[in-house]
Amino acid sequence: MANWLVLSAFIAVTVVIAQAVRLLFMVINGWRNRKKAVGVFHPYTNDGGGGERVLWCAVKAIQDVNPNLDCVIYTGDHDASPDSLSGRALDRFGVKLIHPPKVPFTSRLHQVVHLHRRKWVEETTYPRFTMIGQSFGSIYLSWEALCKYTPLYYFDTSGYAFTYPVARIFGCKVFSYTHYPTISLDMLSRVRGRSSMYNNDSLIAKSAILSRFKVVYYTLFGWLYSFVGSCAHLAMVNSSWTQSHIEKLWGIPARIRRVYPPCDTSRLQALPLEKSMKPPKIVSVAQFRPEKAHPLQLEAFAVAIKKLDQDLPRPIIQLVGSCRNEADEKRLQNLKDLAIKLNVDDHVEFHKNVMYSDLVRLLGGAVAGIHSMTDEHFGISVVEYMAAGAIPIAHNSAGPRMDIVLPENGKQTGFLAQGVEEYAEAIIEVIKMPENKRLEIAAAARKRASMFSEQRFYEDFKAAVRPIFCDGTK
Per-residue pLDDT tens over the stretch 428-465: 999 999 999 999 999 999 999 988 988 899 999 999 99
Lowest mean pLDDT among 114-128, 291-305, 386-400: 114-128
Asked if residues 76 and 137 have their Cβ atoms less than 8 Å apart, the reply is no
What letter represents residue 205's amino acid? A
DSSP symbols for 443-463: HHHHHHHGGGBHHHHHHHHHH
Domain presence at residue 2: no
One domain for residues 216 and 204: yes
What is d(CA 242, CA 49) in angstroms, rounded to the nearest whole number? 18
One domain for residues 464 and 420: no
Side-chain-side CA neighbours of 137 within 13 Å: the count stands at 20
Domain residue limits at 157: 22-262+456-471
One domain for residues 256 and 307: no
Asked if residues 279 and 255 have their Cβ atoms less than 8 Å apart, the reply is no
Asked if residues 281 and 367 have their Cβ atoms less than 8 Å apart, the reply is yes
Domain presence at residue 229: yes
pLDDT at 161: 96
Tell me the pLDDT tens digit for each residue of 321-345: 988 788 889 999 999 999 999 999 9
Domain presence at residue 253: yes
What letter represents residue 135's amino acid? S
One domain for residues 258 and 270: no
Going by their DSSP bridges, the two strands 368-370 and 281-285 should be labelled as: parallel
One domain for residues 327 and 348: yes
DSSP symbols for 124-166: GG-SSSHHHHHHHHHHHHHHHHHHH--EEEEEE-S--GGGHHH
Give 346's DSSP letter.
G
Is the pLDDT at 101 greater than 70? The verdict is: no
pLDDT higher at 201 or 398: 398
Q: Which of 102-116, 292-306, 313-327 has the highest mean pLDDT?
A: 292-306
Domain presence at residue 296: yes
What is d(CA 222, CA 226) in angstroms, rounded to the nearest whole number? 6
Going by their DSSP bridges, the two strands 348-352 and 281-285 should be labelled as: unpaired
pLDDT at 110: 41
What letter represents residue 243's amino acid? Q
- DSSP-based helix, strand, coil % in the chain, nearest 5: 55, 15, 30
Domain presence at residue 284: yes
What letter represents residue 450's amino acid? S
Q: Which residues pair with 282 in a beta bridge?
A: 317, 368
One domain for residues 307 and 229: no
Is the pLDDT at 12 greater than 70? The verdict is: no
pLDDT at 423: 97
Handedness of CA 136, 322, 366, 260 (dihedral sign): positive
Is the pLDDT at 196 greater than 80? The verdict is: no
Handedness of CA 184, 186, 187, 192 (dihedral sign): positive
What integer is the mean pLDDT of 276-286? 93
Domain presence at residue 121: yes
pLDDT at 279: 93
What integer is the mean pLDDT of 404-409? 94
**pLDDT band at 21, cuts 50/70/90?**
low
Domain presence at residue 11: no
φ, ψ at 41 (rounded to 5°): -90, 105
pLDDT at 473: 44
What integer is the mean pLDDT of 216-235? 92
Is the pLDDT at 418 greater than 80? The verdict is: yes
CATH of the domain at 26: 3.40.50.2000
Handedness of CA 454, 458, 464, 468 (dihedral sign): positive
Report how many domains make up the chain. 2
One domain for residues 34 and 177: yes
What integer is the mean pLDDT of 169-197? 77
Computed over every residue of the chain, the mean pLDDT equals 85
**pLDDT band at 380, cuts 50/70/90?**
confident
CA distances from 239 to 62, 199, 243, 372, 401 (A): 21, 21, 6, 17, 11
pLDDT at 202: 52
One domain for residues 187 and 324: no
One domain for residues 86 and 221: yes
One domain for residues 343 and 270: yes
What is d(CA 79, CA 58) in angstroms, rounded to the nearest whole number? 22
Tell me the pLDDT tens digit for each residue of 124-173: 888 888 889 999 999 999 999 999 999 999 999 999 999 999 999 999 99
One domain for residues 274 and 234: no
Is the pLDDT at 385 greater than 90? The verdict is: yes
Short-list 370, 377, 315, CA closest to 348: 315
CA distances from 368 to 355, 364, 374, 377 (A): 20, 10, 19, 21
What is d(CA 395, CA 390) in angstroms, rounded to the nearest whole number? 16
Is the pLDDT at 237 greater than 90? The verdict is: yes
Q: Which segments of 308-389 does DSSP mark as H helices, in order?
A: 326-341, 356-364, 380-388
What letter represents residue 63's amino acid? Q
What is d(CA 88, CA 94) in angstroms, rounded to the nearest whole number? 9
One domain for residues 277 and 215: no
Asked if residues 463 and 411 have their Cβ atoms less than 8 Å apart, the reply is no
Domain presence at residue 271: yes
Q: Which residues pair with 370 in a beta bridge?
A: 393
